[in-house]
C-alpha cells in the first residue's frame, strides 16, 4: 500500500529470517525491495517517513525484552508507523513489553474516544 501510494517507507524487523522472507516477498511481487528492509541494529541512527515493523513471534519475548533496542525500533518514523504482530502474542508473551504497553495505551485512550476506529492485529 505504501509503495503504491508512493510513500517513503522502510521495514524493520529484529529477526534476520523475517527480513529475508519479507525481501523475498517484495521481490517476488515485483515491488521495490532493495534498501527497504532492515534489522533493527542496522537501521539504528536512521529514520524514514513511514516505518513498518514486523514483530511476528509465537511464544517467547526475545528481542522485545531489550527496552533500548525496542525503543530504537519504535522511534524511527517521522509521519507514521505500522506494527505487524499477532493479538495472541501481544496478549500473552508480549503483553508486558514496550509494544504491549503501546497497544494498551492506544486501546485505552484512542479507541474509547473514537479517534482511532480500530486497531487490527
Query: 114 pLDDT exceeds 60?
Result: no
- Residue 41's pLDDT band, with cuts at 50, 70 and 90, is confident
Tell me the β-bridge partners of 77: 48
pLDDT at position 89: 83
- How many residues can be counted in the chain? 121
Q: Could you report the per-residue pLDDT of 91-108, keeping only the tens digit for each?
A: 888 888 888 888 888 777
Cα separation of 108 and 121, whole Å? 16
- Residue 121's pLDDT band, with cuts at 50, 70 and 90, is very low
Cα separation of 103 and 11, whole Å? 19
- Residue 2's pLDDT band, with cuts at 50, 70 and 90, is low
Which class is domain 9-111?
A: alpha beta
- Enumerate the domain spans of the chain: 9-111
Amino acid at each position: 500500500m505504501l509503495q503504491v501510494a508512493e510513500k517513503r517507507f522502510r521495514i524493520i524487523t529484529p529477526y534476520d529470517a523475517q527480513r529475508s522472507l519479507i525481501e523475498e516477498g517484495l521481490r517476488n511481487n515485483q515491488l521495490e525491495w532493495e534498501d527497504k528492509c532492515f534489522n533493527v541494529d542496522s537501521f539504528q541512527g536512521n529514520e524514514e517517513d513511514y516505518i513498518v515493523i514486523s514483530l511476528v513471534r509465537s511464544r517467547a519475548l526475545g528481542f522485545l525484552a531489550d527496552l533500548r533496542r525496542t525503543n530504537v525500533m519504535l522511534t524511527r518514523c517521522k509521519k507514521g508507523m505500522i506494527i505487524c504482530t499477532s493479538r495472541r502474542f501481544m496478549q500473552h508473551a508480549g503483553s508486558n513489553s514496550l509494544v504491549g504497553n503501546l497497544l494498551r495505551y492506544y486501546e485505552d485512550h484512542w479507541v474509547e474516544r473514537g479517534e482511532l476506529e480500530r486497531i487490527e492485529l
